Homo-oligomer: A and B are copies of this chain.
Amino acid sequence: MSEKIATIEDVARHAGVSIATVSRALHKPDVVSETTREKVQTAITATGYTANVMARNLRLNRSGMILLLVPDIGNPFFSAILSGIEKGASQAGYNVLIGDTQNDPEREATYAAYLRSNQADAMILLNGRLPASLANAPANATPPVVVACERIPGCALPTVIIDNDEASFIANRHLTDLGHRRIAHVSGPSGNILTIDRVTGYRRALEAAGIAHDPSLIYRGDFSIDSGIAAGRALLGDPKTRPTAVSCASDGMAIGVIVAAKEYGLRIPQDVSVVGFDDIPHAAAYDPPITTVRQPRRRLGEQAITLLLDRLGSKGLHDSRDTGPVIIPTELIVRQSSGPCPTL
């Protein structure tokens, strides 16, 4: 690269102010005077310093950053959701910063402080918990916050979710409709709101079909393939107690259950039906292709950022209105991993 790129030093020299002042004007515009902001903006234009975005943010008195809190960036489930948020944010001229909370309240607080110190303009919570500083703040006192993916019980913030209870009900009713009576469920980790809602839907579907609840048929996984393999080995090893169908709270666990079923020489779906959740790309590509609940993850992300941008535009005027969560519809995708009950 032969052309010299303008630095913050160049901007400071041109504006006749210190580098610290340029930095403050860019990142904490509320603490510098109008005159200084204008001088710095002129210098930015003249030097071509990272031209458009920063100048616009300076003009609009914002950081241009939206903060996303996720519970575990190691879980690829979030990729498509983040990508949907990213796209909408980018179109509106915002950049996104992602913070991985690892379910640690101290980390949640540290990230939330970014919002309160105006280093980010708004926040989307995908982690299922409100940072303590926000829980105690009056709704109008903080920048816009949207909850997505994992609902927060008792929280009145704008929320975008799927109906996990109903989606799980429909997946399990698909199995009772096929004549299955002995149906196991591989759930997510305990304490997780998705786990609770999907177990509820499973139990409702069995109850609706007049099947008595058997707690030994619920296996606690962690959404991973490995936990699905462990579940399959635990549930399918004994022919006397073996269920004829297994519903899983993730596609990864459904794949794991099928791996274990094949170890026992069981055919899918002739001997055991398996149903997943999410419809990740691997579900359709698996052998056999997996029946699952399609969760429109990208659309979920897009809807969350739309809601947030709406609030950013309206300067928080709607914050006190609670219109209930936005529910993104799911769809049962029937493929070859589920079939009629073999004992019929």
A contact residues vs B (CB 8 Å cutoff): 1, 4-5, 7-8, 20, 23-24, 26-28, 30-31, 50-54, 64, 72-76, 79-80, 82-83, 86, 90, 95-100, 102, 106-107, 109-111, 113, 116-119, 132-133, 135-137, 224-226, 229, 252, 255-256, 259, 262, 281-282, 285-287
Q: Are B95 and A99 in contact (CB under 8 A)?
A: yes
Among B28, B135, B225, B282, the residue within 8 A (CB) of A5 is B135
Secondary structure class of chain A's binding surface, majority of residues? helix
Q: Which residues in B have their C-beta under 8 angstroms from that of A83?
A: 72-74, 100
How many chain copies?
Answer: 2
Please give the distance in Å from A335's CB to the nearest CB on chain B: 13
Which chain B residues border A282 with CB–CB below 8 Å? 225, 255, 282
Contact residues in B for A52 (Cβ distance below 8 Å): 106
Contact (Cβ within 8 A) A27 B119: yes
CA distance A64 to B119 in the complex (A): 14
Max count, chain B CB within 10 A of own CB: residue among A20, A23, A51, A107: A23
* A113 touches which of B8, B106, B116 (Cβ 8 Å): B8
How distant is A56 from chain B, measured CB to nearest CB, in Å? 11
Q: A224-B281, A287-B286 are in contact. Are A100 and B86 (CB under 8 A)?
A: yes
Nearest neighbor of A262 in chain B, beta-carbon distance:
B287
Contact partners of A97 in chain B: CB under 8 A: 97-99
27 A–B contacts, CB within 8 A, in A order: A1-B135, A7-B116, A7-B136, A20-B30, A23-B28, A23-B117, A23-B118, A26-B117, A27-B117, A28-B28, A50-B106, A50-B113, A52-B106, A53-B106, A53-B107, A54-B113, A72-B83, A74-B83, A83-B100, A86-B102, A95-B99, A98-B99, A225-B285, A226-B281, A255-B285, A262-B287, A287-B287
Determine whether the beta carbon of B73 is less than 8 Å from that of A98. Answer: yes
Contact of A109 among B50, B82, B136, B287 (CB under 8 A): B50
Q: Are B51 and A73 in contact (CB under 8 A)?
A: no
Known: A7-B136, A23-B28, A229-B285. 9 other contacts (CB 8 A): A23-B118, A27-B117, A53-B106, A73-B83, A75-B79, A95-B99, A96-B99, A98-B99, A282-B282
Give complex CA distance A135, B2 in Å: 11
User: Given the known A-B contacts A282-B255, A287-B287, are A79 and B73 also in contact in the complex, defined by CB atoms under 8 Å?
Assistant: yes
**B82→A100 contact, CB < 8 A:** yes
Q: How far is the CA of A261 from the CA of B291 in the complex (A)?
A: 22
Chain B residues in 8 Å Cβ range of A99: 95-98
**In the docked arrangement, what's the CA distance between A221 and B90, Å?**
26
B residues near A226, Cβ cutoff 8 Å:
281
Across-interface contacts of A73 in B (CB, < 8 A)? 79, 82-83, 86, 98
Across-interface contacts of A256 in B (CB, < 8 A): 285
Which of B20, B95, B110 interacts with A50 by CB under 8 Å?
B110
With CB as the reference atom, state the residue of chain B lying closest to A18. B31
**Which residues on the B side are within 8 Å of A119 (C-beta)?**
27, 119
Q: Cβ of A229: which chain B residues have Cβ within 8 Å of it?
A: 285
Across the interface, which residues of B come within 8 angstroms of A54, CB to CB?
A: 110, 113
Q: How far is A135 from B100 in the complex, measured between Cα atoms in Å? A: 28
- Could you say which of B5, B8, B107 contacts A132, with CB atoms under 8 Å apart? B5
